[in-house]
Amino acid sequence: MRNIQAEQITEVVKRLCIKANIDLNPPVEEAIRKARETEASPVGREILDQLLENAALAREQNLPICQDTGLAVVFVEIGQDVHVEGSLEEAIHEGVRQGYTEGYLRKSVVRDPIDRVNTKDNTPAIIHYEIVPGDQLKITVAPKGIGSENMSRIYMLKPAQGIEGIEQAVLETVALAGPNACPPMVIGVGVGGNFEKCAYLAKKALLREVGQYSEKPFWAEEEKTLLEKANGTGIGPQGFGGTTTALWLAIETYPTHIGGMPVAVNINCHVARHESEVL
């Protein structure tokens, strides 16, 4: 058994909240730079230039890349030989509280969907736990803006709809998202499992680094195909028309029931924030 202090976890979460919101993930920035070289639309190229300038300014002036600093989504992989001294859950919320306050990030959480009173410290975080072998604890903070989250969808397809059905679902979601999701987007797709597992897979797909294909050869091919088709929609940067509608598309899969084929599409914007640390 290895002991980890709750205070250490708070410190890490705080640091990750700030870094993820200010320092654009390098593979995403690289993808924007590459897209700038191939984008066919002049207005589209202008937008991609603005995004690169924005990323540089954010870093230099210590400002959030985007004003929607999101809901704090936290993934915890906890080794089964780890013991946390104190409350793990409270340590995470405290990290979010400190990070969003000290980092001058926007507090966008309301305590109830109807009364809509702001909690003023961006808590509670949305936390996903996974128990893994070993004695380490990995924390990933993935702040998620609502503009793109609002354009995400889940489909309960029939097995007979096959790969064509999956492609249709993804492309329909991208078309409906259009300019609302701040394209160029990063697209996370979950296939299989059941209703909630599928949505979780789509979110997990957004944690994969931009540029990294699925380890399953069939699905890696499908990622290439779907990315090309998404870029063929013509939506382009900010929806002003162009050849860069998506920077990346990742698919995560899981076994499913003989009678079902759930597909979830979680749209992310070009900011695509996620930062990790291992304790």
Taking the complex as a whole, the smallest distance from the CB of residue 151 to other proteins amounts, in Å, to: 9
Q: Work out whether 256 is an interface residue with other proteins (CB under 8 A).
A: no
Taking the complex as a whole, the smallest distance from the CB of residue 130 to other proteins amounts, in Å, to: 29
User: For residues 76 and 174, which CB has a smaller minimum distance to other proteins in the complex?
Assistant: 174
CA distance 101 to 169: 39
> Which range, of 47-55, 73-81, 125-133, 134-142, touches other proteins by CB under 8 A?
47-55
Residues 48-87: x where in contact with other proteins by CB under 8 A, - otherwise, as a string: --xx-xxx-xx--xxxxxxxxx------------------
Handedness of CA 187, 193, 199, 204 (dihedral sign): negative
Q: Of 142, 61, 53, whose CA–CA distance to 104 is shortest?
A: 61
Taking the complex as a whole, the smallest distance from the CB of residue 136 to other proteins amounts, in Å, to: 33
Q: Work out whether 225 is an interface residue with other proteins (CB under 8 A).
A: no
Q: Work out whether 182 is an interface residue with other proteins (CB under 8 A).
A: yes
Taking the complex as a whole, the smallest distance from the CB of residue 165 to other proteins amounts, in Å, to: 18
Starting at the earlier edge strand, list the strands of the sheet with 71-79: 126-132, 71-79, 137-144, 275-278
Among 34, 107, 128, 197, binds other proteins (CB under 8 A): 107
Q: Work out whether 271 is an interface residue with other proteins (CB under 8 A).
A: yes
Burial class (CB in 10 A: 0-12, 13-18, 19+), 91: buried
Taking the complex as a whole, the smallest distance from the CB of residue 143 to other proteins amounts, in Å, to: 12
269, two tokens? 């914007």
CA distance 6 to 90: 8
- Interface residues with other proteins (CB under 8 A)? 40-41, 43, 46-47, 50-51, 53-55, 57-58, 61-69, 104-108, 118, 120, 146-147, 150, 178-180, 182, 232-236, 238-243, 269-271
